Structure 1
Amino acid sequence: MNDLTIIPTAASSQPQTQYLNPELSLLSFHERVLSMALDTRTPVLERLKFLCIFSANMDEFFEIRVSGLKAMAQSAVAGESIDGLTPQIALDKISERAHRLVDLQYQTLNQQVLPELKTYGIQFLAQEEWTAGQSKWIRSYFKREVLPILTPIRLDPAHPFPLTINKGLSIVVDLHDPERDETHNIAIVPAPRALPRYIRLPPELCINEYEYVYLSSIISANVGRLFSNAEVLGCYQFRITRNSDLYVDLEAVEDLARTLEGELPRRLYGEAIRLEVSENCPKKILNFLKERFQISDDYIYAVDGPTNLNRLITLPDLVNRPHIKYQGFTPSAPDNLSQQNNIFDTINNADVLLHHPFQSFAPVVELLRQAANDPEVLAIKQTLYRTGSDSVMVEYLEDAARAGKEVTVIVELMARFDEQNNLDTAQKLQSAGAHVVYGMVGKKTHAKMLLIVRREGKKLRRYVHLGTGNYHQGNTRVYTDYGLLTNQREITQDVHELFMQLTTQGSNPTLIRLFQSPMGISDMLVKNVLREADNARAGRPAHVIAKVNGLSSPAVINALYEASQAGVKIDLIVRGICCLRPGIPGLSENIEVRSIVGRFLEHGRVFYFLNSEAESELFLSSADLMPRNLRNRIEQCTPILDSNIKETILADLHVYLADNRNSWLMQADGRYVQTIKKTPDEPDLNAQQVLLEAHADTY
């Protein structure tokens, strides 16, 4: 394809089992994210964002996935993954690919993105590029803003190597002092976390409108002032990534919240997993760092640029350059919501489907606002997995509790990397008088549910919102998700039963319409897939479409293989991990797997079954097709009963399947090949763009 560099991925040499390795599959997704930064059709400020997103993805990949594999490799009882790879072999393959990707990341930054940004008046200046006026300003800035909060540490027996926090920027300084031995001629300068990682220079001192310097450059340029009794031979930035998984025995603790409060600080100082260091760092300094952190060459990444690249993700919001960003848009609201003020009346008339970010999340917020202020609303129950700080939805829940309504909130304290925010949220809600429950022991509550009980005349009526994504307003602008507003009696009764299970720690309830994890969603999906297989064997039409973030459940994969062998057409839209091998003769030749990577993060979970001549079935779910979701979490999966809504979602799925702009087709060996137009005359079809233009009010 013109103007696009395809990332070369060597064919897999792993054992030819019927499954693919989950960690290597996830790394392939990060590779596809990086491809958006390589694509010259992507606006250059957005290319920078994708480089930053790739960095953040790789941080978490090492903090959780690589650290987990490393622990298993060191265990005497380490087994094999679903694909037959041992942890150590998987780590070796990850190292080879990850080093290549990181090299490509910085090549793209230095050779493409930064030079193009300079043509638009945006520049990051190296120290040798500073003018005399800029150097003077930087010295003043260092003295005024940086020096007062720096803690430089020159190493000796009385000053040991300081604790370096997870992903914190530090600078190692190579000193020369003939009165000290070599091991005492090293200093460490941790960069203050309170300071920005890049600083804009005053425009009057600049040629370009936007000129920036890195904080690490400012410290390095002035480091001689910190060690006046020694000669500075060099300064080199480095960053340590640590094991960030929390190990909490949920069945042994008496107070989960208090236990988490004690455990969270330890995440900052877990085992060192990865060392990122300036590529010009001398061997003697590098060896010193290796020894200090007990880390081998496989986990060392020499970088040509800022080690904390993801900190640049805020830049596009700080510069006035709309022509090199994605075009802005205003999400729409369904017509039936904009025509009436009372959202309960609207839901009484018909179910409402919302497709974010193309359609606004505001109706969900408005539903909660009206519920908090409506004297006829008696109770509100909601699950919270990720909300973000300063969530207006949390404020409305607090308002409702203070107004005397029965407010019950299931707060998932173990939502990875949101634990502290969720602890704070729980405390605020409890202070307002809400009942706060931390979900089921040993099982994360990942279901997205909001239940409102309202008195209408002499009856109580329930209203619910069921979503595929979190109640996080920021995410709803960049994640694609579905939400359903309904008061259908059987569905609302099921949601009531799920909340009763969560608060009473009961077993799986008997549900009428909904399905839930553990096990219920998996059993339903396998049953429906095998029903399609039976229909195909009988010569009836059969088709399965699934859109998820991850697919690694052996039970679901095996059912899909059986359906493929029976002749069922299977279309899978899997954003990230996919352990299924498509296109293998006699096993999966009727299965296509594609991944959509574009402006928005694909996040919705949808399952469609043709069901032959009978009525087709379509479900929205909070669950991915992974063992953790289907076995170890509380998830919900709801059928779409409204035929118009079902047709709308099915049409959306077909738009995704027709994408030839941001779609990647998976090969049997795990490689991904970008979908291209079949003929030169075929129009570009960007599914996310099509949905934007179809739904957004302004674009």
Structure 2
Amino acid sequence: MSSSSYINRELSWIEFNQRVLSEAQRKEKALLERLKFLAISASNMDEFFQVRVGGLTLLKSTGSRKKDIAGLTPTQQLLAIKKRISLQIHEQYVLYNTELLPQLKENGINFCAPKDLPRHIEDFVRLRFTEAISPLLTPLSFEPDESDNDTPPLTLPAMTLIVACVIQAKNKTNRVVFIPINEGIERFIQVGDQGEHYIIPIEDAIAQYANQLFPGESVHSHSVFRITRNGDIVVQEEDAIDLAGEMEEVLSARKTSNTVRVELRSGCSRLLENAIKQITNASPEQIYRIDGALCLNDFMQIAFISGYEDLKAPSWEPQSSAEIDYQNSIFDEIAKKDILLYHPYHSFDPVIRFIEEAATDPDVLAIKQVLYRTAKHSRVIDALIRAAENGKQVTVLVEIKARFDEARNLHRAEELQRAGVQIVYGVKGLKTHAKITLVIRKEAGSIKRYCHYGTGNYNESTARLYTDASILTARNDFGSDASLIFNAVTGRSKLLTTKRLFPAPTHMKKRLLELIASEASRAKSGEKAAITAKVNSLQDKDIIDALYKASKAGVNIRLNIRGICCLKTGTRKEAKNIEVVSVIDYYLEHARVFQFHQGGDELLFISSADWMTRNLEKRVELMIPVADEDIKLQLIDILEAGFKDNQQAHRILTDGSSERIIEEGKPSFRMQEYLQKKATQASKAKAYLRTTTFEPHTPK
């Protein structure tokens, strides 16, 4: 295939973020829900610059002219990113300034600088600044030509707002001072008064009262800016003797790494702009002039402000699974049959309970688990510590290379180790991204294995926000495969052929290519052939080429892809049978589910891996076949729902952009609403059955 057959990964990601932003632009949505999606689009953009733009900037600095699958060099990609993302930023701020701020004001939520507040509110804010904020500020004086003397250069923190001031002495001489706003200072001062809610951005308060910090001088002018540094700095594992120590050095290096973006509030004076350029060493193409408040992701906290429920989307609550009798031991329930949980429609509690019950069950001998990301206050960590203290053999692989969670995972690993848990810091040369827990239990004089396999992290916080699949099983072959996986990642043993699972990087990609080719072969023979898949991203060239060949052979291919899609749709022979949709809604779509028709013998899989080269070749991942026929039907229903959605779904177009799917005259169908109602109805039906059925206690 030529490069014209693919979409650039970075540009495809920007189009995904455009779909997120389009939710904020929908006038029919609740006002604070629109603000939430605007904040999400800004947060997404921050990580994109840190990681993707950071990596490309590093490649450019080495002189690399290596082209991606779309035929673009790092320099060409950076130019294309700048052009496209500048348009997106413009849309963000047109929306923010002309729609959201005025409508918030109409509803009593007022964003104000201190000078625009009622007098008594302004007096309160000034006092608050003097007593609670001023002591936390550390002004840093900067001389524009100080690089020519022996003074060590200033290093300003990244990803935080910085107020830049021109300070004027009584003799009219000027100097530049930078005031970083550290993490301990809240972004907004909020004051309620007579039905009105006043929100004062902290940078405006600092600018207003900065004179307090400079006795005998005055603030002549000010501006606000923010630095984004390259976050694509990874540990060099080949030479690492102490991986934890090396990771701490990487975290430190990120704080002073090269600048990849400077956001600068419009209207900044030339003196301040020159000083900012000098201290950040930013090139002109790395400067983004912003017409409004910086760091829009902080506005997420305003989206969840209390007392304005009529401005929010109706909330959905996770439901108890109708497949589980919560009066019984979770092990008894799993022993009866495989259990599918589709979060957050189904509560994550059974997964937590699985680990918590294992921690205290006297018959449990060992617990083994892979942790990639965990909640801030994690019940999973608490249960593992409790299990170790109760004398269980507990082994945990903590992936300390999980980007932006490295520090937390290092801390968690140390916490677990102190409790007596056997810790492994991932696998050399690979990230371990598999979602797996193995519990080994003594029953009737023999050993029985219980497993949890999932598509999402063991994080009870994100389990309320991300859609993910969990399968709890006590099948022997799945249990023995789990032991093989853990022996390989913790014991450095060879990963032999598994009975049911397909791990990456050893088996998964090969199996996927075989399954795609098998469908193509059936189509060539005149049989019905179909592939339906739900993934977060599709980037791997081999998978894309295999899908093109299958489409050309007549396979009906439907893909539900939330984010990156490097496959180019269209009417070309190799793409005419491929449909790609993307659903952006209340929950973040995160589950990976694959279906292959196989002549009517439907093969269903859930997986921790997206169809990206990094997942298939550079990570330890798992693809789990679905053995239970009822679970197959449930997953097929979930897959089908994504292609019925005519409320929150977008169609991916040939150039990688998107258009919202609107079907005039057809009944409205919203996938997430359908799945929420289905889970709620099943839970209520099970609860009703329990109230109308008397079940006697019998001797054990």
TM, length-normalised to structure 2: 0.94
Name the structure 2 match of 1:646. 632
Instruction: Supply the distance in 1 between the matched residues of 2:425 and 2:271 (Cα, whole angstroms).
Output: 50
Secondary structure at the residue paired with 2:5? coil
Which of 263, 275, 292 is matched with 2:262 structurally? 275
Question: Does the alignment pair 1:388 with 2:375?
Answer: yes
- Mean CA deviation greater in 38-47 or 491-500: 38-47
Q: Deviations over 1:586-609 (max 9, x none)?
A: 211100111111111110001100
Question: Does the alignment pair 1:482 with 2:466?
Answer: no
Q: CA deviation at 1:312?
A: 1.9
Query: Where does 1:140-539 land on structure 2 (aligned, <5 Å)?
Result: 140-156=127-143, 162-177=154-169, 179=171, 185-201=175-191, 203=192, 206-338=193-325, 340-539=327-526
Instruction: Supply the distance in 2 between the matched residues of 1:616 and 1:193 (Cα, whole angstroms).
Output: 51
Name the structure 1 match of 2:677. 693
The amino acid of 2:678's aligned partner reads A
Question: Does the alignment pair 1:627 with 2:613?
Answer: yes
Summarize the Cα distance change of 1:26–1:566 in structure 2 as closer, same or farther, 3 Å threshold: same
Which of 635, 642, 647 is matched with 1:661 structurally? 647
Q: Deviations over 1:378-407 (max 9, x none)?
A: 000000000022200110000001111110
Instruction: Supply the distance in 1 between the matched residues of 2:544 and 2:644 (Cα, whole angstroms).
Output: 24
Contact 1:451 1:462 in 2 (8 A): yes
Contact 2:170 2:216 in 1 (8 A): no
Q: Deviations over 1:147-196 (max 9, x none)?
A: 11211233345977632111121111123348576xx5211111232110
- Mean CA deviation greater in 281-290 or 251-260: 281-290
Name the structure 2 match of 1:607. 594
- Mean CA deviation greater in 281-290 or 462-471: 281-290
Instruction: Supply the distance in 1 between the matched residues of 2:298 and 2:216 (Cα, whole angstroms).
Output: 34
Q: CA deviation at 1:352?
A: 0.3
The amino acid of 1:309's aligned partner reads L
Q: Deviations over 1:261-280 (max 9, x none)?
A: 23212212211111111112
Instruction: Supply the distance in 2 between the matched residues of 1:42 and 1:275 (Cα, whole angstroms).
Output: 32
The amino acid of 2:679's aligned partner reads H
- Mean CA deviation greater in 138-147 or 307-316: 307-316
Instruction: Supply the distance in 1 between the matched residues of 2:68 and 2:572 (Cα, whole angstroms).
Output: 24
Contact 2:369 2:397 in 1 (8 A): yes
Name the structure 1 match of 2:529. 542
Which of 684, 687, 691 is matched with 2:668 structurally? 684
Q: Deviations over 1:10-59 (max 9, x none)?
A: xxxxx962111111111111111111111122211111111111111111
Name the structure 2 match of 1:8. none
Unpaired runs of 5+ residues, structure 2, are 685-700
- Mean CA deviation greater in 125-134 or 599-608: 125-134
Identity %: 36
Contact 1:329 1:696 in 2 (8 A): no
Secondary structure at the residue paired with 2:4? coil
Which of 55, 68, 72 is matched with 1:68 structurally? 55
Name the structure 2 match of 1:94. 81
TM, length-normalised to structure 1: 0.94
Contact 2:125 2:189 in 1 (8 A): no
Q: CA deviation at 1:292?
A: 2.5
Question: Does the alignment pair 1:137 with 2:127?
Answer: no
Instruction: Supply the distance in 2 between the matched residues of 1:240 and 1:154 (Cα, whole angstroms).
Output: 18
Contact 2:502 2:624 in 1 (8 A): yes
The amino acid of 1:28's aligned partner reads E
Q: CA deviation at 1:92?
A: 0.7
Q: CA deviation at 1:320?
A: 1.5
Contact 1:340 1:346 in 2 (8 A): no
- Mean CA deviation greater in 229-238 or 35-44: 229-238
The amino acid of 2:162's aligned partner reads S
Instruction: Supply the distance in 2 between the matched residues of 1:155 and 1:180 (Cα, whole angstroms).
Output: 17
Instruction: Supply the distance in 2 between the matched residues of 1:193 and 1:16 (Cα, whole angstroms).
Output: 44
Q: CA deviation at 1:326?
A: 2.0
Q: CA deviation at 1:126?
A: 2.6
Instruction: Supply the distance in 2 between the matched residues of 1:336 and 1:658 (Cα, whole angstroms).
Output: 26
Contact 1:31 1:101 in 2 (8 A): yes
Unpaired runs of 5+ residues, structure 1, are 1-14
The amino acid of 2:575's aligned partner reads S
Secondary structure at the residue paired with 1:573? strand
Name the structure 1 match of 2:687. none
Name the structure 1 match of 2:623. 637
Contact 1:172 1:187 in 2 (8 A): yes
Instruction: Supply the distance in 1 between the matched residues of 2:428 and 2:170 (Cα, whole angstroms).
Output: 61
Question: Does the alignment pair 1:39 with 2:26?
Answer: yes
The amino acid of 2:651's aligned partner reads L
Instruction: Supply the distance in 2 between the matched residues of 1:458 and 1:16 (Cα, whole angstroms).
Output: 61
Instruction: Supply the distance in 2 between the matched residues of 1:317 and 1:496 (Cα, whole angstroms).
Output: 43
Query: Where does 1:21-40 land on structure 2 (aligned, <5 Å)?
Result: 21-40=8-27
- Mean CA deviation greater in 591-600 or 231-240: 231-240
Instruction: Supply the distance in 2 between the matched residues of 1:314 and 1:231 (Cα, whole angstroms).
Output: 33
Contact 2:112 2:198 in 1 (8 A): yes
The amino acid of 1:696's aligned partner reads T
